[in-house]
Amino acid sequence: MKFLSMLLTLLFVFGCEQEILVQTDPVITGEAGSANFTKFVSIGNSLTAGYQAGALFDYGQMNSYPAIMAQQFAYVSVNDPFDQPMTGSSNGCYNPTGGCTLGRLVLFDPDGSGPLSVRPAPAGTTGMPAPYNTDVTDHGKALDPYTGNKDNLNNFGVPGIILAQALTPATGGPPPPAPNQAYNPYFARFAKNPSTDGVTGSTIISDALATNPTFVSFWLGNNDVLGYAVGGASNPSILTGVATFTAQYSAAIDAILAHPNNVKMVVGNIPNVTTIPYFRLVPHNPVPLDEPTAALLNGGFAGYNAALDGLKNPAFGGAFGSAAELDARKITFTAGAGNKVVIQDESVLNLSGGFDALLGAGAITPAQRAALAPYEQVRQSRPTDLLVLPASSFIGTIVGGNPQLINGLTVPLADQWVLIPTEITEITTRINDFNAAIATKVAASDNRIALADIFTKFTELATSPTGGIVVDGFFARPLFAPPNGIFSEDGVHPNAKGSAYIAKIFIQAINAKFGSTVPEPNVANFYGTGLPVSPPL
């Protein structure tokens, strides 16, 4: 039996070439207001570090939003240079656990004008042209120890950390094989005093405060919910509780405000992570089928659909759902595009008991009952479901070389591949609770903290009826497709244009709170995601 191979093509809008819309600005001046930007220090996670396209590398670091903010602060204050723990890597490390054999994601067209689709692919993939054909020699630099002056650092953004990791020495060590779940190699590489026991040594907060800052940006908490979301809400143990988050956030802010410089701060709240491209690029109905394949699939699910009809028997008294509910769980396919995938859904009634009842009544055979086992809690996807970006290359793959076992079709997608409505509600509720805790802490800061409302700004971007918003004459879209997308190729982190937009939001909040007139960066003056590359001729 031969099934149609799946190829999910992302749609890109290309111009003839990628351009920066350079605008001529007047002489730029401004005032610091009641803030002191002389020593600006930024604390955060991958967003702060300049991580983009699935890796940490020099270009992303140079275009981190704190680096862009520091450039703008220089117009109103005599500042120290903004030092970052540069990796020295051109493409960074995409797969740290796999030995850093690959680098950042790049839009790659593997056969030029051929039938294969443009997709994000890691630098170092066979056929990548320069400068994306680097190897482990370059990629491994992303995790090499930082050899610069750690006392002069300004950027304390560490990819992958949750809020708790900013507060514990264990984030800096000991490294594996020690059983230290808090360890993060991106912090260990520049920690001033890496911990050897997980108890003593540097923390991200202590190292940042040791630089004697006069102004701090703080943006943590995203990963306390994002990690849970990108895994399809399949691992509840990694979703931080509200009480825990509130206590940890308060501890971090209190430590900064207690610094003898009487520092002022800007903090960012948490955007609705379910609106980022990672959850929005794969439609709920991505499967194209020809007529023979659709017919084969429908034949394969005929027994399942008949079993659902059997559960409508009045003898069961509606114990296994109403007729409408059972009909909604039937699985059908049609020739053409737009077929929905089959998914596991833990929120629907488990029909195990119903299928057992059919077996006991002699309506199905033991072999038929065994065949129904994988489909006791499944349905086809709906517009209210969100498929994660990696599902685009997983749907349609074959299990164990058996052409009848097709992921997303005959084999239901597991929880990790999709967010169902109950999970989306759980995630957005948790974000709202976190943001309420942040707002409460800001309100109690004696006017020393400005709040950058990233949540509202990015919601406006994601829900705009025109598909984007105009910023500095540039039409910004919540995509990674050039030329208008402000996200990078990983669908989670911003590209340089997106970083400039974030810096703009932070500076607007600073100006409104502290009476400063720091000039905002011009988003149009930064590069977005690059156009697709192809193998050299």
- Among 2-6, 224-228, 294-298, name the one with the lowest average pLDDT: 2-6
Angle between helices 302-310 and 291-300 (to 10 degrees): 40
Q: What is the pLDDT of residues 357-395, one digit of tens each?
A: 999 999 999 999 999 999 999 999 999 999 999 999 999
The mean pLDDT of 390-419, rounded to a whole number, is 97
pLDDT band at residue 24 using 50, 70 and 90 as cut-offs: low
Kindly report whether the peptide bond that precedes residue 177 is cis, defined as omega within 30 degrees of 0: yes
Task: Tell me the pLDDT of the chain averaged across its residues.
Answer: 94
User: According to the model, what pLDDT value does residue 224 have?
Assistant: 98
- Reduced to 3 DSSP states, what percent helix, strand and coil does the chain have, rounded to the nearest 5? 35, 15, 50
C-beta of residue 4 within 8 angstroms of C-beta of residue 518: no
In the predicted model, is pLDDT for residue 8 greater than 50?
A: no
Residue 453 clears pLDDT 70, i.e. is over it? yes
Q: What distance in Å separates the CA atoms of residue 92 and residue 477, rounded to the nearest whole number?
A: 26
pLDDT confidence bin for 89, thresholds 50/70/90 = very high
**pLDDT on residue 116:** 77
Using alpha carbons, select from 103, 107, 102 the residue that is nearest to residue 118: 107
Give the pLDDT confidence score for residue 403 in this predicted structure.
Answer: 94
The pLDDT value recorded for residue 516 is: 97
**Model pLDDT, residue 117:** 84
pLDDT for the residue numbered 2: 34
CATH number of 40-167+203-280+423-525: 3.40.50.1110
Structure tokens at 502: 């974030």
Tell me what the mean pLDDT of segment 139-167 comes to.
97
pLDDT band at 14 (very low <50, low <70, confident <90, very high): very low
| Res 20: pLDDT | 54
% pLDDT > 90, the chain: 92
Least confident of 113-117, 194-198, 401-405, 503-507: 113-117
Residues 106-152 pLDDT 10s: 999 998 877 778 999 999 999 999 999 999 999 999 999 999 999 99
| 402, pLDDT greater than 50 | yes
Spatial distance between the Cα atoms of 413 and 130, rounded to a whole number of angstroms: 37
| Burial class for 28, CB neighbours closer than 10 Å (0-12, 13-18, 19+) | exposed
Q: What is the mean pLDDT of residues 71-97?
A: 95
Q: Average pLDDT, stretch 499-514?
A: 98
H helix runs in 337-408, sequence order: 352-360, 366-372
Q: Over pLDDT 70: what percentage of the chain?
A: 95
Q: What is the pLDDT of residues 27-81, one digit of tens each?
A: 677 899 999 999 999 999 999 999 999 999 999 999 999 999 999 999 999 888 9
pLDDT at 483 over 50: yes
- Residue 306: predicted pLDDT: 98
Where, residue-wise, is CATH 3.40.50.1110 in the chain?
Answer: 40-167+203-280+423-525
Q: What is the pLDDT of residue 3?
A: 35
Is residue 213 a contact partner of residue 40, using CB atoms and an 8 Å limit? yes
Give the CA angle between residues 409, 410, 412 to the nearest 5°: 75
User: Is the predicted pLDDT of residue 4 greater than 70, yes or no?
Assistant: no
- Predicted local distance difference test score (pLDDT) of residue 10: 39
